[in-house]
């Protein structure tokens, strides 16, 4: 049961990453996603 739950969470995370990366083609890495998400929050 736990393995199934972890698999669902990983699958959903992959979908979210795909959506983030499709918004801007220059996003290639996790730091790029963070910069895009929190840009200007100093």
The burial of 15, by beta-carbon neighbours within 10 Å (0-12 exposed, 13-18 middle, 19 or more buried), is given as exposed
Taking residues 7-21, report their average pLDDT.
92
Q: Which residues contact 39 (CB under 8 A, 6 or more apart)?
A: none
Segment holding 4, helix H or strand E? helix 2-23
Would the CA dihedral through 32, 25, 14, 39 be positive or negative?
positive
* Whole-model pTM over 0.75: no
pLDDT of residue 23: 84
Tokens of 14: 């992959």
pLDDT tens-digit profile of 15-33? 988 888 888 888 888 888 8
pLDDT of residue 3: 97
Q: Where are the domains of the chain?
A: 2-38
pLDDT bucket at 42, cuts 50 / 70 / 90: low
């Amino acid at each position: 049961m736990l393995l199934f739950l972890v698999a669902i969470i990983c699958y959903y995370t992959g979908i979210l990453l795909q959506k983030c990366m499709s918004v801007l083609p220059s996003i290639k890495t996790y730091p790029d996603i963070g910069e895009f998400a929190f840009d200007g929050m100093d």
